Amino acid sequence: MASDSPRRPSRCAGGVIVRAQAATEQSYMESVVTFLQDVVPQAYTGAPPTDEKEKVIWVRYEKADINDTARNPEFMEMHSGTTDPPLCLMIGYTDGMQIWSISLAGEAQELFSVRHGPVRAARILPAPHISPLKTDSFADKRPLLGVCKSTGSSGSSPPYCCADLYSLRTGEMVKSIQFKTPIYDLHCNKHILVVSLQEKIAAFDSCSFTKKFFVTSCYPCPGPSLNPIALGSRWLAYAENKLIRCHQSRGGACGDNAQSYTATVINAAKTLKTGLTMVGKVVTQLAGTLPAATPDDEGTPHCASRRSPHNPGVVTIIDTHNVGEGQVLVSEDSDGEGVVAHFPAHDKPISCMQFNPSGMLLVTADTLGHDFHVFQILTHPWASVQSAVHHLYTLHRGETEAKVQDMCFSQDSRWVAVSTLRGTTHVFPINPYGGAPCARTHMSPRVVNRMSRFQKSAGLEEIEQELNRAAALGGGAGRCSPIPGLSSSPSGSPLHAKLSSQDSYNNFTNNNMGNPRLSPLPSLTVVLPLAQIKQPMTLGTITKRTGKAKPPPQISPSKSSGGEFCVAALFASSRSWFLTNPNIKREKDQSRQSVVDSLYIISCYGNLVEHVLEPRPISSAQKISDDTPLELSTCPRACWTLARTPQWNELQPPFNSNHPLVLSSDLVQYYQHLLAALPPGSPGPITRHESSDSLASDHSGQEDEEWKKSPAHNLVFSAWLTPVTLISGVGR
């Protein structure tokens, strides 16, 4: 029936809307059939499928104005009723690309769809940060879409050598940045646009798109990202080709971190494996079944590393605000202007990097894909040599090699998801400050304090004892606090145990409450994945705990598709709340009731699946305490089929002013305009209960008259009637 179809035309500006479907056994069988149709020849499957999908070559989640809660909370609240941002994802095909937005109500809306040849990289550029001394040269053209496709603005240019910027408002190309070598990726924030080339990085100002600085000392990687970088709100991390001692920060992977027992066992196992392999080669050579290696071949890796002046696995982090104009040079003769950290991260070339939302943590992966390192960056205002890099975690995936293609943190930085080209997403628990993850740290919706002294200082232990005594007399459970708000404390759980004076003293000395850049540095913790989610047959193929549960037999898509299977993951609020009971009305804080956000995985088949994560103390523990290890229960709850077919209509700019991408960009630009016009020393945040006359008193002319006629102005004006902060967090 047509009413049961998950797809329908859009009611507002945009393309098709796809509703979420429950992840049932039927959808699991459909994914199997789709997989077999894609990999098995039609001679064996019969007639070709009637709903053939276009081939997906890459997928990516995007951070833009439409889902930036810090700069645009009004757009989210007016469209979804809460401040939870929509998911924005991009799908690249062999012929064009697509942009989708998934609201908190579970509806996926198509925002952009075009067919103009293969696209290697694309980004939605956020509205730039402006100031009284800095204006936006492309304000009337935004939002902008940066695209690197097979042919640039000029047909004679080599493929993938141009970064073209298109206006989604007018549909015209407003800027074309050309290079002599191919572009491999694009990155952007509200200050700069970064173009990643092979062994080079070029950064451009987000307002004028003039060259700001460039880096020519990158260490290349075999792939999938040939020049991996990580761009935060201010810092830029890239793989350096040399380790310069005079700029080296304290710590890193080769610092004086004390390895844990687990790390020692893992390293011993690796050494034993290497030794057995060498013994096997020697025995085979003596038996005459393998030709003896030449002297040059036996020590090729080591000799090459000695002869080569470059060092793999080195990371340099620069401050994009303080770096000078021109080339960024990290050498013995340079003063390291703008360099905030410089340290060794791996022994092999780095293949992928990612900052956490705050920018204080950096997770890295090398070409082998065995271990992923989590570093805490503690910078110093003087020089990078005074900075400290704490190696907090080694996330051990396994002993088989795999290429990492995607890494992401949860919003509270307590979970890390790493996806490989094998189509598997590994979920690891961590703490933002280090230490072993346990029931105390991950069984609460909030991040628990490192010292865990809140419960004792707030008197919650005495309150809990009174509640338990009252529950014993009255037969109740005694779980509610008579004082509102106390029961929601991060440490106010029944699992929390008292700390003795000796334990408090040990914690004080071990955690070094003084200068964190001085010794002793935090000890390294090795963490294994609590869940491994396999694509595309995600349903029913999840291991609850590494080594504890054996996954059912499955067909590996990586073996049938050349070893490459693109996957992207993201932590976000649940969008499957209405599937169990569609008649209920979602409350504003309903998504906050879960301990951890859901994990959204989009695969190269265009299927988006929401996985609900439920951490709990390990079931094999005889007595549950704060230090009880964790296990993770994962369940696919909802799915969206987003891949387009050849019959799918295109959705190209120019877009109207009520298009979600255009409307969100207008709101951010208007807020930026107000902040830039405020005199120095005036309060920054503007509240909705202030009248519209006070907001418009400092701005007059034709520009304001045009703004008052736009849908964005009507949206802001209607929101002034409620006393909630309008732009809290903007400009921080």
Domain boundaries, the chain: 439-472+489-521
Identify the pLDDT of residue 476.
Answer: 46
Q: Note the pLDDT tens digit of each residue in 328-382.
A: 989 998 888 999 999 999 999 999 999 999 999 999 999 999 999 999 999 998 9
Q: Which residues, 6 or more positions from 349, have their beta carbon under 8 angstroms from its beta carbon?
A: 219, 220, 221, 222, 239, 312, 313, 366, 367
Distance CA 501, CA 491 (A): 18
pLDDT digits (tens, 9 = 90+) for 477-517: 444 433 333 333 333 333 333 333 334 434 444 444 567 77
What SS3 string covers 245-306? HHHCCEECCCCCCCCCHHHHHHHHHHHHHHHHHHHHHHHHHHHCCCCCCCHHHHCHHHHHHH
Mean pLDDT of the chain: 75
The model scores a pTM over 0.85 = no
pLDDT tier at 283, thresholds 50, 70, 90: very low
Identify which has the larger pLDDT, 305 or 132.
132
Helix (H/G/I), strand (E/B), else coil: 601: strand
E strand or H helix that includes residue 713: helix 711-719
Phi and psi at 571, nearest 5°, equal -90, 130
What pLDDT is stored for residue 154 in this prediction? 56
Rounded CA separation 136/127 (Å)? 9
Query: Which tokens is 324 given?
Result: 């000078």
Average pLDDT over residues 397-419: 96
User: pLDDT tens digit string along 188-245?
Assistant: 999 999 999 988 999 999 999 999 999 999 999 988 899 999 999 999 999 999 999 9
pLDDT at position 497:
36
CB atoms near residue 280 (< 10 Å): 11
Residue from 593, 590, 591, 599 nearest 571 by CA: 599
Classify the C-alpha dihedral 565-570-575-577 as positive or negative. Answer: positive
